[in-house]
Structure 1
Amino acid sequence: MDDELAESQRAHWQDTYSAHPGMYGEEPSAPAVHAAGVFRAAGARDVLELGAGHGRDALHFAREGFTVQALDFSSSGLQQLRDAARAQQVEQRVTTAVHDVRHPLPSADASVDAVFAHMLLCMALSTEEIHALVGEIHRVLRPGGVLVYTVRHTGDAHHGTGVAHGDDIFEHDGFAVHFFPRGLVDSLADGWTLDEVHAFEEGDLPRRLWRVTQTLPR
């Protein structure tokens, strides 16, 4: 069932990006704007973005002078990202790779300064898979590296409604979301410094999210 859900989500995102190019617009998300400042203050130079989609946030990081590696499991979204990077003349600072985060990250140990993931950790991933992914992020970050991620949480209006898949995963309009309890945020910060858990809202529902910042000890 988990593999079936993951594959259906991959196909759904691929079809959605193909049918709606640039669906989130050209402006970066508010979390990405915040993260760029956090990364700069930490002295980061290279950023790994997980779940980059069609690239509005990866392109923002590149325009801000960071080197960006953008991962997503939708080849359609990443093609749009590459096209936009060329149009904005930042293609030399952006690389892309099709990748399913249920598998080990393609980066070497201690090879990146910062990781950004806007609503990627709360996709159709089990709690076990989320812990494994954060373990992978820990592996690829250099000492003192920073992770900024956002997730929808159990205070969201969609939590507990729609098609239930277990493990706090609920599906609406074809999109499956893992809604985070606060305890999951805290457990993912084990071995890190948990710098901030910031509550905010986004979209028309509105979606209720946390923006989490955590740092590896040096």
Structure 2
Amino acid sequence: MSESARELAAVQREHWQRTYGEHPGMYGERPSEPAVHAAGVFRAARAGALLELGAGHGRDALFFAREGYTVLATDFSPVGLEQLREAAAARGLAERVTTAVHDVREPLPLADASVDGVFAHMLLCMALSTEEIHALVAEVRRVLRPGGVFVYTVRHTADAHYGVGTGHGDDIWEHGGFAVHFFSRELVDALAQGWSLQEVHAFEEGGLPRRLWRVTQTLPG
């Protein structure tokens, strides 16, 4: 990692820490629409053990737990994960949800072929380089069991904030303090090599609105 990339990562980590601290439960309690969709996909694949990357304060991890899955929720913000643990305990879901502070630039804290499904809502489009994103997807592949499912969402290059604000190169743009790697379709297809790409679904979220893709891909069984 270059020095500038290391500095950007550190700034973003601190920014998210501060944001979760100042706005507890900032995304509310209702699950995201991609998580609701993913729960059905995981159910059809007979998944039981899930990994959520970038879980934040846990609205989606808690939803998955309520749906009967066991979830390892990871995030690089201890503040967000503490909010998640408190919420899980208050809702009687502590036995179904575990947490781990983790930066996705590092290897995932799981054994090979140890989970049935992986979910990541707007985690891959954080301030990660293309090389780091490829390395992360390789790690997802490593920890998934054969036939496992990976569902992720990303903002893409048709988003209104693409090209706006401070450019950091590699399609990473910072606006309002948040740095985003905007995905091209070519990047989605490259990340699906060696997988079965089931769906690339375009949708919108939020007031701007943000323009995203929901990607579903599976490992060969």
TM-score by length of 2: 0.98
Cα distance in 2 for residues equivalent to 1:24 and 1:172: 19
Find the counterpart in structure 1 of residue 199 from structure 2: 196
Cα distance in 2 for residues equivalent to 1:145 and 1:7: 32
Does structure 1 residue 34 correspond to structure 2 residue 37? yes
Cα distance in 2 for residues equivalent to 1:196 and 1:123: 21
Find the counterpart in structure 2 of residue 136 from structure 1: 139
Cα distance in 2 for residues equivalent to 1:22 and 1:84: 10
Does structure 1 residue 156 correspond to structure 2 residue 144? no
| Counterparts of residues 68-217 of structure 1 (less than 5 Å) | 68-217=71-220
C-alpha displacement of 1:70 = 0.2
Structure 1 counterpart of 2:24, from 13, 18, 21: 21
C-alpha displacement of 1:138 = 0.2
Q: Any idea what SS the aligned residue of 1:39 has? A: helix
Amino acid at match of 1:52: A
C-alpha displacement of 1:67 = 0.3
Amino acid at match of 1:95: T
Cα distance in 2 for residues equivalent to 1:88 and 1:165: 41
Cα distance in 2 for residues equivalent to 1:38 and 1:54: 23
Q: 5+ unaligned residues in a row in structure 2: which ranges?
A: none
Q: CA RMSD in A?
A: 0.3
Find the counterpart in structure 2 of residue 48 from structure 1: 51
Q: Aligned residues, how many?
A: 218
C-alpha displacement of 1:8 = 0.4
Cα distance in 2 for residues equivalent to 1:63 and 1:5: 36
Q: Any idea what SS the aligned residue of 1:114 has? A: strand
C-alpha displacement of 1:75 = 0.2
C-alpha displacement of 1:83 = 0.4
Q: Any idea what SS the aligned residue of 2:95 has? A: helix
Does structure 1 residue 61 correspond to structure 2 residue 64? yes
Q: Any idea what SS the aligned residue of 2:174 has? A: strand
Cα distance in 2 for residues equivalent to 1:133 and 1:35: 19
Cα distance in 1 for residues equivalent to 2:90 and 2:167: 41
